[in-house]
Structure 1
Amino acid sequence: MKLRILLGTLGFLGWVTSCTQTPSVVDAKSGGLEAPPPTAAVDYPVPAAAGPDTLARLAIRHHPSIAAARHRAERLDAKVPQESALPDPTLEVAAGSMAETAAGRMEAMGAVKQKIPFPGKRREAAAAASSEASAARAEIKALELKLTEQVHAAWWDLHLTEQTLRLTRESKSLLESMSDTVDARVAAGQANQSDQLRLANEVGLIDRDLLEARQLGNTARARLNSLLNRPAGSKLSIAGDAPIPSAGSLASLLARAEARHPEVAAAQRKSDAFRHRLKRAELERFPDVTAGLAGASISSSGLAPMANGRDQVYGTLGVNIPLWQEPRRAMIREAGEGIAETEAMVAAARSDLRYRVEDAWFRATTARDVVDLFENRLIPDALQTYEVTLTGYSAGTSDLNGLVETWRQLLAYQLQLARNRAQLGKATATLRAAAAID
């Protein structure tokens, strides 16, 4: 009788549990899945005169691609306890017209069974899931390096436009100061009106250059706001300059990139996951065990004169028969191909990193040499030439064409220096990202 009550209670609880479970993410109004909250662009405060490193840290904190990568890593990490857990036990209940034993008629039967996978299967499955989660975490770091490089590149683009605006305005001031000299010579009859028209035309060209530089600045500022996940049109001011670290040794940078770059680490962790899957597949040829405890409720009224209504309780033990080996061999082949695939991915990542490091190193080294050349030789010489020509024009020993030419040469050198500094900053950022330097 007690066993009958127990079996009935277990059956009722199982039915109630299956009927009352509802997904926690269901929207009661629409009956559909709730949409995740969007990572909206927010006009959060940015420090005034911010450098590229400061903006890169803000981008990593706020960019939705980083948030998505982190959620993916957490999602994969949540698979580890799923893979290491035992399957849920099963409850079986039987009732109806059942067999009659010597102890009496069987009124109901119940059993609880637990499947126990062969030792090592759950461990290897959990290890594979853990390796996948580790690969996802390495991909977060790779994405942070890429985002940092993009922020630095956008920062240097904006810095270049601001330097271009500054230099062009200063050059316009030079032209305006030259106009006083030209006007004085025209008034004295030492020059004709064509010099004034030529100078006015040069001022118009400078105004055109200023408009184009402002447009490029707006584009660069929009790119930075996008990387920072800020709304379009958000105010943003940057520092007047930023330190540029030295390139360092090419050999050490190559070695660091191949050994420590997160792209390589992610591919290696994926290879580890396939190795664990291979071990898991090799264990599939061994059977799993299913252990259980069963019982039957026996009625005391039976046809046999010795019927006593004694309930039955017994244990069960079963194994699956790994008969069909072709699917298991396919699992082994799949894992083996996965290992070969990810090992090739590691080699490909290292090959690409070698190129990126070498290319960025040579670009940074060349840009630094060119910057030194302009700062120490070309610009000082051009400035001296302009001053001598201006003095000569005032004294009537040189014409306006020579003066404008030396002014243009000076401005071109100054703008080229600004471009080379921006190229140096961007190449250094690429080099640091390729070598996995924070």
Structure 2
Amino acid sequence: MKKNIILLLTLLACSFYKLQAQSLEDYFELAAENNPGLQAKYKMFESALQKIPQANALQDPTLSFGYFISPVETRVGPQRAKFSLTQMFPWFGTLKSKGDAAALLAEAKYQAFLDARNQLYYQVAASYYPLYELKKWIVLEQENREILESYKTISTKQFENGNGAMVDVLRVDIMLKDATTNLQILTEKKRPLVAAFNALLDRDETEEVVVHDSLVIKPLLNNYRRDSLLGDNPALNEIDLKLKASREMEQVAIKQGMPKFGIGLDYVVVGTRSDVEMTDNGKDILMPMVSMSIPIFRSKYKASVKEAQFMQESYQLQKQDYANSLISSYAMAEFELNQQQQLIGLYDQQIAESQQALNLLYTAYGNSGKEFEEVLRMQQKLLKYQKMKATAITKYYTALAKIDYITAKDY
């Protein structure tokens, strides 16, 4: 019994440690393993790989059989039946170009998978940091309520001692009710945020999410990761590979307009003649054949070439458009990052000064019993700056996650 209890406690301790040890990077890993949308992208890549052997393969040979209802009489006997086997071959290099195009398109699907993975990481981060903000707001609101309760006790004693007014007690009571309602709303807000976060990880919506107690603002260099913006972006790589595949498809279209060659074999079953004795009487016929297609209807081949060329132009324009979008998105995210960093510094100063002013007002109220309204006003202003700082930190890290996605950070 004692051993079972020790084992149970050990398992509980390990589970608790595992829960506490979870970080945002751990959630990235869980999302990559479990998210059905990302798995679907990978299955599309695996599906595209199966097109390569299809593209490299020859057409199936053709086997035909014919039976002479009225046998054709020949010198060595009547022809009874005929077997034909034919294999067609495309123009030289056609299969290689098809295979190369299929391989490039498969690689493009893999790059699309990598981009979807990076986008998923950003979505996880963008859902994680609001949970941090909510956690901080709940803690701040709880502390605010505790402070207001202590203020209510003090203001009540001041009123009983004749040093304060009843209106001060009522003011605190009103603020306490506001704080209690705000705390209740914040607590209820956690459920949909947790559900949205767990949906990205394909987990039960009530699964506990471990959130950092505090986030440290890291000093970043100017143009953070900007050199990675266009260097190795999966979305740009995907378009590049599609462009190369389209060039291969142009070569395929050109080569399909060339003649196709075929080799074959005809085997004719010949019956024996009963009316005469001769050499090779009833001997079957074996006839090798060579065939060639004549592509005289050129319009479809020219249209196929033009189609590939227009697709190349389209991919080039798509690449330029996406590159412009990346540059624009980076500029906005960098501005957001710098803005929130400046606001955090401002809020730190305002919090410190508000706390100092609150201490002075509180001391003055304790001595005179007057201007309690200013104490409450400054307490709420302090709370507002603390919440604004938590929000700024959330926006800062969300912008940082956006930059990591735009620049295709390798986690």
Q: Distance in 1 between matches of 2:309 and 2:164?
A: 86
Contact in 1 for aligned 2:272/2:281 (Cα 8 Å)? yes
Q: Which residue is 1:311 aligned to?
A: 284
Q: Distance in 2 between matches of 1:245 and 1:324?
A: 67
Q: Which residue is 1:70 aligned to?
A: 42
Tell me if 1:279 matches 2:248: no
Q: Which residue is 1:267 aligned to?
A: 239
Paired-residue identity, %: 21
Which residue identity lines up with residue 57 of structure 2 in the other structure? A
Give the C-alpha shift of residue 232 in structure 1.
2.7
Q: Distance in 2 between matches of 1:106 and 1:46?
A: 87
Match 2:230 to one of 258, 261, 264: 258
Superposed CA deviations along residues 88-113 of structure 1, whole A, max 9, x for unmatched, are 11111122233222222122211211
Which residue identity lines up with residue 387 of structure 1 in the other structure? N
- Sort the Cα spacing of 1:399 and 1:126 in 2 relative to 1 into closer, same or farther, 3 A: same
Give the C-alpha shift of residue 219 in structure 1.
2.0
Contact in 2 for aligned 1:247/1:361 (Cα 8 Å)? no
Superposed CA deviations along residues 203-223 of structure 1, whole A, max 9, x for unmatched, are 111112112212322221111
Match 2:301 to one of 325, 328, 332: 328
Tell me if 1:178 matches 2:151: yes
Tell me if 1:410 matches 2:373: no
Q: Distance in 2 between matches of 1:46 and 1:118?
A: 65
Give the C-alpha shift of residue 305 in structure 1.
5.3
**Which structure 2 residues correspond to residues 228-239 of structure 1 after superposition, within 5 A?**
228-239=201-212
Tell me if 1:59 matches 2:31: yes
Q: Which residue is 2:4 aligned to?
A: none
Q: Which residue is 2:271 aligned to?
A: 299
Superposed CA deviations along residues 368-410 of structure 1, whole A, max 9, x for unmatched, are 22223323x2211111111111111000174111101110111
Tell me if 1:135 matches 2:82: no
- Sort the Cα spacing of 1:303 and 1:91 in 2 relative to 1 into closer, same or farther, 3 A: farther
Which residue identity lines up with residue 316 of structure 2 in the other structure? E
Match 2:93 to one of 114, 120, 125: 120
Q: Which residue is 2:12 aligned to?
A: none
Q: Distance in 2 between matches of 1:244 and 1:202?
A: 32
Which residue identity lines up with residue 78 of structure 1 in the other structure? Q
Which residue identity lines up with residue 163 of structure 1 in the other structure? K
Q: Distance in 2 between matches of 1:259 and 1:302?
A: 84
Q: Distance in 1 between matches of 2:217 and 2:262?
A: 66
1:287 match: secondary structure: coil
Q: Cα RMSD (Å) of the superposition? A: 1.9
Question: Which stretch shows the higher mean deviation, 427-436 or 213-222?
Answer: 213-222
Contact in 1 for aligned 2:90/2:256 (Cα 8 Å)? no
Match 1:48 to one of 11, 16, 19: 19
Contact in 2 for aligned 1:278/1:332 (Cα 8 Å)? yes
Match 2:169 to one of 181, 187, 196: 196
Give the C-alpha shift of residue 302 in structure 1.
5.7
- Sort the Cα spacing of 1:331 and 1:244 in 2 relative to 1 into closer, same or farther, 3 A: farther
Give the C-alpha shift of residue 304 in structure 1.
6.2
Contact in 1 for aligned 2:194/2:205 (Cα 8 Å)? no
Match 2:360 to one of 388, 407, 424: 388
Tell me if 1:370 matches 2:343: yes
Q: Which residue is 2:142 aligned to?
A: 169
Q: Which residue is 1:353 aligned to?
A: 326
Contact in 1 for aligned 2:272/2:282 (Cα 8 Å)? yes
Q: Distance in 2 between matches of 1:133 and 1:179?
A: 69
- Sort the Cα spacing of 1:135 and 1:248 in 2 relative to 1 into closer, same or farther, 3 A: farther
Q: Distance in 1 between matches of 2:365 and 2:276?
A: 135
Q: Distance in 2 between matches of 1:137 and 1:372?
A: 42
Contact in 1 for aligned 2:215/2:393 (Cα 8 Å)? no
Q: Distance in 1 between matches of 2:276 and 2:310?
A: 65
Question: Which stretch shows the higher mean deviation, 320-329 or 205-214?
Answer: 205-214
**Across the two proteins, how many residue pairs are aligned to each other?**
392
1:123 match: secondary structure: helix
Superposed CA deviations along residues 202-255 of structure 1, whole A, max 9, x for unmatched, are 1111112112212322221111011111133233332323556554442x6344
Q: Which residue is 2:5 aligned to?
A: none
Q: Which residue is 2:397 aligned to?
A: 425
Q: Which residue is 2:192 aligned to?
A: 219
Tell me if 1:340 matches 2:313: yes
Contact in 2 for aligned 1:247/1:428 (Cα 8 Å)? no
Q: Which runs of 5+ in 2 are unaligned?
A: 1-15
Q: Which residue is 1:12 aligned to?
A: none
Q: Distance in 2 between matches of 1:247 and 1:310?
A: 90
Q: Which runs of 5+ in 1 are unaligned?
A: 1-44
Contact in 1 for aligned 2:163/2:369 (Cα 8 Å)? no
- Sort the Cα spacing of 1:243 and 1:118 in 2 relative to 1 into closer, same or farther, 3 A: farther
Q: Distance in 1 between matches of 2:322 and 2:32?
A: 23
Instruction: Give the TM-score, by structure 1 length.
Output: 0.86
Superposed CA deviations along residues 319-353 of structure 1, whole A, max 9, x for unmatched, are 11101000001101110111011111111111111
Match 1:105 to one of 61, 78, 100: 78
- Sort the Cα spacing of 1:433 and 1:317 in 2 relative to 1 into closer, same or farther, 3 A: same
Instruction: Give the TM-score, by structure 2 length.
Output: 0.91
- Sort the Cα spacing of 1:335 and 1:322 in 2 relative to 1 into closer, same or farther, 3 A: same
